[in-house]
Amino acid sequence: MVREKIIEAVKVRINELGVFDDINEMPELDYIDKLLDDSTEHVFRLLPYNKLPLTNLSDSQLTHVGNGVYYLPMGEDYIKFAECKFDVWKRHVNRVATDNEKILQSSDITMGKPSRPVVVENKTDMGAELWFYSVPGDNLNKRLFVVVLMKPEDCPDNLVDAIAWRCTSDYLLSIGKVAESQKATDRLETYV
């Protein structure tokens, strides 16, 4: 199981950093296991979407707001937007709009067009929403991919090292080993 594989990798990373002189000082496995979910979420937020497993939402139903604007509420496990392309768009979008670009979407003149499509991410009390601008007509054939949080045991093998380094850093920080924690964080950043 991947969860146990990550926990074993954390123990190896702690040993690799030479934190403890005695094997009996190694951390309790239950304590590492408690840190693992938060460490996994941190890695999913840190890594670029092209290094993470993507969730295909191409068949999802969008809500039409009017004037070529649609939105899609995201679940609580949503982490970040990856990529979208409607058939009517001339290009795909692989980033959400900046704050300045969001402001421009309030005007028909400055709003995104099929040759310059825009995706806006709004955070609400109910969770995140993705807003799609410049979708003329009802042709909603699309490719839509996002990153959603996975449980550590469901993560692919290519994320084991990154999650192990983050969990190692979290553990070392929790026991006051700041310098060693920073070394583990530095190793994690090689995956970005």
**Nearest residue to 51 (alpha-carbon basis) of 151, 136, 160:** 160
**What pLDDT score does 127 carry?**
87
**What pLDDT score does 6 carry?**
95
The full length of the chain comes to 192
Q: In this predicted model, what pLDDT tens digit does every residue of 48-85 receive, in sequence order?
A: 999 999 999 988 888 888 888 899 999 999 999 999 99
**What pLDDT score does 150 carry?**
96
d(CA 67, CA 166) in angstroms, rounded, equals 44
**Nearest residue to 172 (alpha-carbon basis) of 21, 12, 27, 7:** 27
Averages of pLDDT over runs of 10 residues in the chain (192 residues) are: 91 89 76 95 95 93 87 93 91 89 81 86 89 77 93 94 96 93 94 80
**What pLDDT score does 23 carry?**
64
**What pLDDT score does 149 carry?**
96
H or E segment to which residue 66 belongs = strand 63-66
**What pLDDT score does 139 carry?**
62
**What pLDDT score does 101 carry?**
85
Domain ranges (residues) in the chain: 2-47+153-191, 54-148
**What pLDDT score does 138 carry?**
65
Give, in order, the Cα–Cα distances in Å from 23 to each of 26, 120, 122. Answer: 6, 51, 48
Whole-model pTM over 0.85 = yes
